[in-house]
Structure 1
Amino acid sequence: MAGGSWTTQNKVLPGVYIRFKTKGALGLNVGERGVVTICEPLSWGAVAKVTEVTPDMDLTPIIGYDITDPKARFLQEIFKGSNRTSPPTRVLLYRPSASSAAKATVTEGTLTATARYEGVRGNDISIIVTALTEPEDSFLVSTVVDGAVMDQQTGKTVEDLTANDWVTFNGSGALSATTGAALTGGNDGTVAATAYSTYLTAIEPYKFDVMIYDGSDETVQTAMLSFIKRMNDENGQRCQLCASGLSAPDTRYVIHVNSPVKLADGTELTKEQAVWWAGGASAGAKFNESLTYAQYPQAISTQMRTNDQYIQELEQGNFVFFAEDGVVKVMQDINSLVTFTEDIGKIYRKNRVVRLLSTIANDLYAQFSANFIGVVNNNEAGRARFKTAIVGYLQQIQAEQGIQNFSPDDVEVLAGQEIDAIVVNLALQPVDSVEKIYLTIEIS
């Protein structure tokens, strides 16, 4: 299905084409946000595959460590949410391929055990083979990770064993007892920039709200920025990139984090690592929620600026934190847009507005594609059905305080220049959160 933005009515492919401008019978439902994607070099897990992770899942079989481990810090931060917004519901995790990556392995007697995945986590695995008195000539084979038994099987020969979440077994013949054989040789390898290009190809078919990049490679940054712009402008999927260290991105499609943070447990996160929380919180925030002054949970300090420096950061389109009474908060929920035009005005620098418009665009795209294109007649009655659906949808958005002062007259559904085309014009007034309060106190 084609989609994206339009300027003139010259599209060839059937699709839903949506244009935003700043203005001086089938129903539509408000969709949910909350999907993050990240390409993260790991020490365990499936390579070059998109894996869906939810907050309640056991991460150990997926990344080799549970959620409390420092190796899972990036997911801890992504799933935190804020004091006023929910965390994301899903992370589309991708482990990139790496040169020189290797699986840990060990051979004892007739048995060879090999880690299921490449990476140094495989070096934490041991295989213990214990002789049993019953059944006779049988053995208990235990797979142990960091001292914890993850799998146990009983057999007489290597052929009796089956692979588990941690190792595969090879060899032939009778088993023999060992007190513990550690796997060795596991290596994470080196991730090249080209692996991120493979990731972008793999993730394109998926729907997500925020893509996180926690690195500083300029080639990868450029590729991801181009990808996000194409997803919005050509594919019709409204999403944002959350990253740090880009050179003047100047687009509503990028949340540009420029603050490190220190956590209560003493962990210090660089500004590149702070994108984990910022990206997760941005995806979890709904179309009627703002992160301005929202608290970063368990963060206690950050790089502080003077008021003039904070003003400069905001004017440069940077997403920054400040600390107040041992609590870290977002200074202002903005994206990197700093150049404004007649069509894309200053209002688009606010991420709450972008989330609103992204929700509307993604909902109209998905539901029009599924229920309207090729189904509804392009005549007066058919266009009336389009309008009725849109009006009902926007009234739902207004009821949830996403827009204000909306009336059915703000929706136009007109015949297009060709027999199979329609033009939809919407006039919307977004609701923003109160960010500036001016008080006058008179004393007599």
Structure 2
Amino acid sequence: MNDAYFKEKAACCMTEDKIERNLFDEFGVKRGLRDFNGKGVLTGLTNISKIESSKVMDGKSVPCDGKLWFRGYEINDLVNGIGDRGFEEVAYLLLMGELPDREELDAFCKELNELRRLPQNFTRDVIMKAPGQDIMNSMTKSVLTLASYDDRVSDNSVENVLRQSMSLISVFPMLAVYGYHAYNHYDLGGSMYIHRPDPNRSTAENILYMLRPDQKYTELEARVLDTALILHMEHGGGNNSTFTTRVVTSSGSDTYSVIAAALSSLKGPKHGGANIKVVRMMNDIREHVGDTADEGEIRSYLEKIVDKEAFDRSGLIYGMGHAVYSLSDPRAQIFKTFVEKLAHEKGREADYQLYSAVERLAPQIIGEKRKIYKGVSANVDFYSGFVYSMLDIPLELYTPMFAMARIVGWSAHRIEELINMDKIIRPAYKSIMKEREYVPMEQR
């Protein structure tokens, strides 16, 4: 491979494809489908979830503490009210539109358990073949391969898509955990553990059961993971991977292709991979701050991060700020209550105090050093990586953990789009290209 060739041609692309920033403003283009104040461009309607980050008072939009609803139910009420099968209960709510009664939940869990199996030799022939560190790519490969085993792959009736969706919801933990074990064995030289899921355990319990060599976990660990899955399950139709789900669904594509596209979106570091950056940043802070109990030292190092003098020199304090929320992210607030309990059980109180200090200091520093149009607060990614580390979940599975939860939201939005769509989603792009006369080869 000639690296010099690609470097040279990349320079050509940078020259020819570069568009001056002022032209976006001139033509009224909302870059990132967001206006100057960060508000998303309205592209659709949904009855699945709702986010609130501001209220109109005296005719003006005023920031408020963030709120999140699933199918009309406030997220705090759901987390506090559910039982030991919280993931399953909320998944039913998002897919069917109503909270299940005991009989409906039992039947739903029974169906999920019956669907929680992979085709014969699939683990050996697909998941273990060409394993790699990027488990999201492994999952995407597996999802697309599963389409080959479905005789009704292109049937987009709601009944069939619901079946396909529930099947993928059921097997996602297996695709992720088995993919990690294959990577850990073949690439890292570790032992291989392929534990079959237990039909008597919840989704959260089965993840820990399949992941850990001794298959053991505490009640609190399962409860915290169950909560984490719920908090990541859905977040409005405007996030990148859910919008991707809507866009690809509108083309008439099949469920497997739609979910593969959503996975490809989620794996990006600006989306589902953000919590990995938080963990790496916190490790960097521990390495460079002599006394992590000294808020003065922490503040000084955070200032260096914002000034692009430390960590990855991006100027970002990862886990701070959100495209929608300003004063607070309700998911982060819920997470924090469970994080403290888990940190106590794991003997990680000092780490918890460090996270709390960064959460408190970072918004102050960002506000002092950056011109921002809205408030900055900790988002769900800030604490989720810490939770996963306390659950002994390897870094390679952080984004796949997000996917195991968000597959429910994607499925709900796919079904809603199928029921209501009548046009393919096709936004407009303004061409600023200059027309040119064709030049024959010998004259170039």
| TM over 0.5, shorter chain | no
Q: TM-score range by the shorter chain?
A: under 0.3
| Larger strand proportion of the pair | 1
Task: Please report the TM-score for the alignment, with normalisation by the length of structure 1.
Answer: 0.24
Give the alignment's TM-score, normalised by structure 2: 0.24
Which has the larger Rg?
1
Larger RCO, structure (CA 8 Å, separation 6 or more): 2
Which structure shows the bigger proportion of residues in helix conformation?
2
